[in-house]
Structure 1
């Protein structure tokens, strides 16, 4: 008896047609399109605010600082160069870093719900940041937050290592334990020492905020993204092997333990730098890798650069909403990313039935 497809063609194998991989855009097209969208977003979002500016005025200020244009109005220079430009550039770097870190963590742990904070990094950074905020030494906040994130990573990997090799399950469980311990420490510090306006400052940082971004913030986040992100892009091929399990990765000649330790350390350094300048911004590293993979497929050499560009653009616009929707009051950007991320997560979860989400 001859088989028939849904279109009535005799002899065709429907299962073979369904297994044909979907055609996806070339990587070059995705990267060029992502870059253009990011640059356009940066130019437009700098113009948005209580003092409306045009794209031409923004371009003149930037050109002035590059030595291409003569004098510009002092007010325009202060608004663009001292306030808005550092903020949108920091948002771009943080968004790109968190999206990249999230994609790597989901691969290393083979857990589609993994995010950059899975190993207790966010809680460790929060403990370090709160410790300096309550004593009024806010200048040391990036250093303290980064130190807290690195300390949390060391504690997590050490705890996971006590039971033998660092498997994904052990790393996740150890990270949960360290995260709870650091969160308890943060709550204790706030309860015992925070007074007056320090509560508001601490809450804003814990929810994620780019309000205090400066050019040093751009340097911290941008340098970490450039150095660590470049390394992660180079080793993207190794991440593909982890999708099939440790045994398959070892069969391909990969030193599983050393590679996992190295990549987790790199992710921690990248995440620590991002958290140090922005606080804990949720959902960027969890949602965007899944959303982007619809266009790129699971191959990390395609996924990582596109996820980074998408994360940068997404957080630039999320922060713009956070600072303008309820002006003159400002929302922590973590609230905006959660409000956008939860519906997107629900859609992805629904569409992911029968895949790795099941």
Structure 2
């Protein structure tokens, strides 16, 4: 089969012919239809992700496809089932093997590209906003990096939960995407003299900050939080994690809350399962629709990663197999 393989950290992945994997106990083999790209894929390829995968390996941490074979002990899926899966690696290939617990049955109405763009981004934002930050209707939610893969889902879910959503992104085109996703206010972080703290103060401040960027936007956003505000640390696509002054956190009774979605598979899988069920229900009702800015074939997987690296995409990039 064909697979998009990384030979060493910081090297360029290559499309190669490799042996088709066989499912082991409690595993499924999936005929991959689509693979969603994530910023975490880039970090993993550099050896900088929270969970390191030693090369060589096949790139791609989330996928959708059809169960092709099952290993011993699998009773929840059968060949022919349509599934979305969070695999951590292996998605950019014609077939992938993963543990059954990492898979979810797709809604019947969901196309494979939507499913491949769904689990990581929507799962991250829903657990962050509903489970960790306890976002309430009519609160003001500020989303930094609002046009990106996870940021855009935070806009969409925040609006679905009844919050007033303020989207922060660079450029009119990206802000237009956030507005269509439900943002009430759109702020251009690329504008000359942009002062995020002043902009948010003029809007009345914020109750929750959703940050997938880090500095230089994180600290000024934090300083615009109301007392008892919550700052969600989701990622650091800007390259620099914030280092908040503890005296400000103390005086304003602020909470800084971390969210690593994949870890819930280990310590609280029932929380993740319930979240995914809620999200699939919202999809079925028409409340959620993944925004996919680019759909490319496996032969152009490198182009998709470069679009992600250079921030020329909005929402998700999906590779079809």
The structure where strand makes up a greater share of residues is 2
- Given the two structures, how large is their TM-score scaled by the length of structure 2? 0.20
- Specify which structure has the bigger relative contact order, considering alpha-carbon pairs within 8 angstroms and separated by 6 or more residues: 1
- Normalized per residue, which structure has more helix? 1
